[in-house]
């Protein structure tokens, strides 16, 4: 199985004369144990072997399933993720992009933009939903929610988050979708012309 734990404070092989492992130049200067050697997973350091062993086992399992998400990748702020990763990949007609920009930069980023992706949870989303619904109409708030949900889902697919915090929580009440407005049928015009 790929992956191992490296003790960065002591040399691997014992001294031939004393039979003891000698200190390295890193002794006391950094975290002691480093998990290495898992394909597709960056090294990670720990203070105790217990923490290193637990993380190694979990990372190996997740990597084998293709589900590994490094929590450090979720340290990027929402605004940085949107501006550098998500927004440049959006391909829509100009009018749609303008509407998206208005709602994302107007209702989402002012409230949540400075938070790290991994720090946006149920409590933050509940507060955001309440604040936005007090500021704008339910239709605008609902569309902003849809865009936020799409951004967070993209972060999941980019392996920056393990799950989308906008999905599956019964305690978050997203803005209410507005009722569709009745529209006059084009058949009425046709019937009127035929008379």
Torsion of CA 147, 149, 155, 158, to 10 degrees: -90
What is the per-residue pLDDT across 119-135, written as a single tens digit (0 to 9) for each?
A: 999 999 999 999 998 99
Would 29 be classed as within a structural domain? yes
Q: Identify the pLDDT of residue 68.
A: 66
Burial of 92 (0-12, 13-18, 19+ CB in 10 A): exposed
- pLDDT score of 194: 47
Can you give the residue range of the structural domain that contains 141?
73-157
Q: Are residues 96 and 153 in the same domain?
A: yes
Q: Are residues 8 and 40 in the same domain?
A: yes
Are both 110 and 88 inside the same structural domain?
yes
Reported pTM: 0.64
pLDDT, tens only, 51-78:
888 878 877 776 676 666 667 778 899 9
Contact 44, 128 (CB under 8 A): no
Query: What span, in angstroms and rounded, lies between the C-alpha atoms of 41 and 64?
Result: 11
* Number of separate domains in the chain: 2
């Amino acid at each position: 199985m790929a992956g191992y734990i490296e003790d960065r404070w002591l040399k691997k092989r014992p001294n031939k004369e004393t039979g003891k492992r000698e200190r390295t130049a890193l002794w006391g200067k950094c975290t002691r144990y480093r998990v290495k050697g898992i394909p597709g997973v960056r090294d990670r350091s720990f203070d105790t072997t217990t923490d290193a062993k637990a993380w190694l086992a979990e990372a190996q399992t997740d990597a084998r399933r293709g589900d590994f998400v490094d929590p450090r990748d979720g340290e990027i702020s929402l605004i940085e993720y949107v501006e550098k990763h998500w927004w440049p990949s959006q391909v829509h007609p100009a009018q749609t992009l303008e509407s998206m920009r208005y709602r994302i930069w107007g209702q989402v980023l002012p409230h949540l933009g400075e938070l790290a992706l991994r720090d946006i949870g149920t409590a933050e989303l509940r507060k955001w939903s309440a604040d936005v619904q007090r500021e704008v109409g339910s239709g605008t708030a609902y569309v902003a929610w849809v865009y936020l949900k799409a951004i967070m889902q993209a972060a999941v697919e980019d392996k920056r988050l393990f799950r989308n915090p906008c999905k599956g929580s019964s305690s978050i009440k997203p803005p209410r979708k507005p009722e569709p407005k009745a529209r006059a049928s084009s058949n009425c015009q046709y019937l009127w012309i035929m008379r």
